[in-house]
Amino acid sequence: MNVRDIVERLSLEVKTAKGDLQREVRGCYISDLLSDVMANAREGELWITLQTHPNIIAVAVLKNLAGIIITNKRTPEEETLKKAGDEGVTIAVSQSPTFEVGGKLYTILQC
Amino acid sequence: MSSGRAIEGSFHLTGGDFTNAGAASSELKSILTNLGISLAIVRRAAIATFEAEMNVIIHAVAGVMYYQVTADSIKVILNDMGPGIPDIGLAMQEGYSTAPDWIREMGWGAGMGLPNMKKNSDEFKVDSVVGEGTTVEIVIRIKEESP
């Protein structure tokens, strides 16, 4: 299962051009606390969060995450998208709340 | 890497500069990766240094992140001009934080920074003088890989 498959199945909108949509997704981590993600997310996971500020890109790069899904109709800040472009991090947004996105993704990744 | 030769350098950190937060740790991560250090070790160094870098940005006016890599270890020292930590034991407790609300809204200030640094270091030291600043020393051994 790669990022593109998940984008399609969850009807996400990709906000970045340079991320690797072919990248294999190894799991998912859900948290809005950045230190928690630093401590507990694993390489290759998608990260679901409400945070929209540029620091999420630094976290995704340092943890080598597969991408970031921002939920609940939130829009990433312009600076966040710029950094995502520079670093090649995929950001996708969802109109649904975190519970729904996480629940659907859990089901997809279990298959 | 030939033994005995150290690779060293430093980065300047500016307090409150959230836009570039993580730049120093990312750069150090690239340096360590290019030196051929194992992924597990690089990952620990990245977590510890990013947390330390964030603390300087959140709490201090300015700071320096100095690194020294030898065949045996990665040593990173962060020296800041900040408020200092009155009670280091308390600051080391998971969940304790003095970060203001707006920092917490960004998802920082969960009181996980210092514990995360300690967990990912083989040696970890904090020295602080209230009103002057804080020094954090992180040592990660390269040869004895931890599980």
Contact of B116 with A39, CB cutoff 8 Å: yes
> What ipTM does this complex have?
0.87
CATH of the domain at B120: 3.30.565.10
Number of domains in chain B: 1
State residue B103's pLDDT score: 96
Whether B125 is covered by a domain: the verdict is: yes
State residue B63's pLDDT score: 98
Whether B147 is covered by a domain: the verdict is: no
Whether B27 is covered by a domain: the verdict is: yes
Domain carrying residue A11: 3-110
Q: What is the 3-state secondary structure (H, E, C) of B87-102?
A: CHHHHCCCCCCCCCHH
Separate counts of helices (H) and strands (E) for chain B: 5, 5
Mutation target to probe the A interface, by most A beta carbons within 10 A, among B106, B108, B116, B121 is B106
Number of domains in chain A: 1
Residue of B18, B29, B116 with shortest CB distance to A55: B18
Q: Do B22 and A36 touch (CB under 8 A)?
A: no
CATH of the domain at A73: 3.40.1390.20
Whether B40 is covered by a domain: the verdict is: yes
Residue of A31, A51, A58 with shortest CB distance to B26: A58
Give per-residue pLDDT as tens, B41-91. 999 999 999 999 999 999 999 999 999 999 999 999 999 999 999 999 999
Q: Residue B143 pLDDT > 90, yes or no?
A: no
Domain carrying residue B98: 7-141
